Structure 1
Amino acid sequence: MTENVWQYGETNSRSQGIDLSGFKVEAVDGNIGKVDKHSDEAGSAWIVVDTGVWIFGKEVLLPAGTVSRIDVDEEKIYVDRTKEQIKNAPEFHREKHLGNVDYHDELAAYYLHGAPFGGRPF
């Protein structure tokens, strides 16, 4: 994963400008849901995944740096984290956290260095 967790790696740069909404999202150990919303803004790129019944209908925000590959033809996004790591990430609430710098810092620390905010480290 890139050291700047809020930007896509070079291999995913061709996805910029493509609407990723509805793409399936795959963790290293299986499907976690579909993209509900995304941003490819430089330095603040992310995807919001609707997890459906997997974690009781919640949404999760994944920084672009967790994305290992985007398959535009298959409409799938692959992330380099397990379902458990994603489930243990700091809780996401759309109204409260989109654009919130403190939340972005907390999430970046979690995905870059383990889980200093209450979860288990990777």
Structure 2
Amino acid sequence: MTENPWTYSTECGHLPGTDLTGWSVEATDGPIGAVDEHSDEAGDAHLVVDAGTWIFGRLLIPAGAVVAVTPANRTLHLSLTKDQVRDAPQFLADQHLADHQYREDVVAYYRLADPCAGSTDTL
């Protein structure tokens, strides 16, 4: 994940202003769902992924987890495995923007799930 989890890395290929709604989301080991909502807001870039019946819910994924964007097939690739995504905190619409602790919990989860967490490039 990038140094700021709420920002897309400059290497991932994300173009600000692109409507990502409906794009496929892939973990390192397969598909996890589609983008239901997203934000490019500076310091608050994120995806809300509808994982359908696989997880029975929506997940908040900070933009820093996106490692590659493939516009040709409308796919976002994450630095996370399907298991890491499955165990992630559910998206709580009423808490996302209002509850600072919820956002900290989300970041803490992805920090622990990041396979590169020991490197200097991570949080």
Q: TM-score, normalised by structure 1?
A: 0.85
Q: State the number of aligned residues.
A: 114
Asked if structure 1 preserves the Cα contact closer than 8 Å seen for 2:37 and 2:49, the reply is yes
| Structure 1 segment 46-65 matched on structure 2, within 5 A | 46-56=46-56, 58-65=57-64
Separation of aligned partners in 1, 2:91 and 2:17? 25
Q: Which residue of 1 aligns with 2:25?
A: 25
CA deviation profile, 1:1-60 (whole Å, cap 9, x unmatched): 21211100002354210000000000011111100000011111100001111112x000
Higher relative contact order (CA closer than 8 Å, sequence separation 6+): 2
Q: Report the Cα offset of residue 92 of structure 1.
A: 2.0
Which stretch has the larger CA shift, 97-106 or 78-87? Answer: 97-106
Which consecutive residues of structure 2, in runs of 5 or more, have no partner in the other structure?
A: 115-123
Runs of 4 or more, structure 1, over 4 Å off, are none
Q: TM-score, normalised by structure 2?
A: 0.84
Q: Which residue of 2 aligns with 1:119?
A: none
Which stretch has the larger CA shift, 87-96 or 103-112? Answer: 87-96
Q: Alignment RMSD, CA only?
A: 1.7
| Structure 1 segment 28-107 matched on structure 2, within 5 A | 28-56=28-56, 58-107=57-106
Asked if structure 1 preserves the Cα contact closer than 8 Å seen for 2:13 and 2:68, the reply is no
Which consecutive residues of structure 1, in runs of 5 or more, have no partner in the other structure?
A: 116-122
